[in-house]
Amino acid sequence: MNERLNGGVLLAALGGVVLLVSLFLDWYDPDFSAWDTFELADLVLASIAIAAIAGPLRPLIRPGRASNPARERIVLFLGLAALVIVIGALIQPPPGARDDSPELGAWLALVGAVLIPLGGLLASSRISLVITTRPNESVTPPSGVEAVPPPPQR
């Protein structure tokens, strides 16, 4: 079975998972997760994370359909929106956490928000990062690994 996975889409999905997990961790001290701190930004970030995670699932749901570059650009712009929201929350905390310092959840959200647009950029640009899940016969001989002769003696 010849499976080709777009590495950019996978990177964006990894960023989506990190962003979604970060929403349940503490963003501000003491024990304020994104769900406790934000009114609407948490729902927007969760929606962006789910959209990024859904990218690699599309070929599994509808096999045989060609990838759509416009859809990959959407992931890029959604990731940039998530990045703006997270950076804004780090620079200017919400009113409920104005005097608190950022915790692990906020920093993980920043990592996830960076990975999503980076993956979207790789997926939508001419830069190709493709992961093939079967061995390439043109590189690997059918019999396996060939023995490499030792270097010549001087």
Taking only the tens place, the pLDDT of each residue in 72-117 is 788 889 999 999 999 998 888 877 777 777 888 889 999 999 999 9
- Tell me the percentage of the chain whose pLDDT exceeds 90: 27
Instruction: Output phi, psi for 134, to 5 deg.
Output: -125, 155
Question: d(Cα 24, Cα 103) in Å, to the nearest integer?
Answer: 12
- Tell me the percentage of the chain whose pLDDT exceeds 70: 73
| Confidence at 28, pLDDT banded by 50, 70, 90 | confident
Taking only the tens place, the pLDDT of each residue in 125-134 is 766 556 666 6
- The answer to whether 94 touches 38, Cβ cutoff 8 Å, is yes
Q: Which two tokens stand for residue 126?
A: 């001419």
pTM: 0.73
**Residue 49 Cα distances to 58, 90, 92, 117, 128, angstroms:** 15, 18, 22, 11, 23
- Type of residue numbered 78: L
